[in-house]
Amino acid sequence: MHTFTVQTQQHTQFINIDAEVRRIIREANLDNGLLQLHVPHTTAGITINENADPDVPHDIEYALDKAVPWRDAAYRHNEENSAAHVKASMMGSGLTLIIRNGMPQLGTWQSVFFCEFDGPRNRQVWALPLETKEQD
């Protein structure tokens, strides 16, 4: 298993982690297979989305804030970060990438984003490369 640290700078932040993903693929000598990524935090997540327009992460943040406001009198969790827990659950804590010829198989505009909802913090991402024999 491989790990890397993501240092977030804002309360809510979407950070492109493609470079770290490619580094792990190289270090693992993963030619064809799967790369399982996991975020071991309850107030952060991981997702794949558009990398070309910086307004996309902004719009995702806006939509999440509308759906899950930061302050709500009905929240019962007393650490005042209930919204961060809900948003992390909405994004998910893991994803699997298909690796072919040493490259993650992403669409033209896709990137992997670490999703911070309770920052700034130092966070971890765990990565498990799984080599497979490619079938035609």
**Residue 76, domain CATH:** 2.60.120.460
Q: Which residue has the tokens 């997702």?
A: 47
Q: Which domain holds residue 105?
A: 2-131
Q: Does a structural domain hold residue 81?
A: yes
Q: Domain total for the chain?
A: 1
Distance CA 126, CA 112 (A): 14
Q: Over its length of 136 residues, how does the chain's per-residue pLDDT go in tens digits?
A: 999 999 999 999 999 999 999 999 999 999 999 999 999 999 999 999 999 999 999 999 999 999 999 887 788 887 889 999 999 999 999 999 999 999 999 999 999 999 999 999 999 999 999 998 766 5
Q: Does a structural domain hold residue 40?
A: yes
Q: Does a structural domain hold residue 136?
A: no
74 φ/ψ angles, rounded to the nearest 5 degrees? -80, -15
Confidence (pTM): 0.93
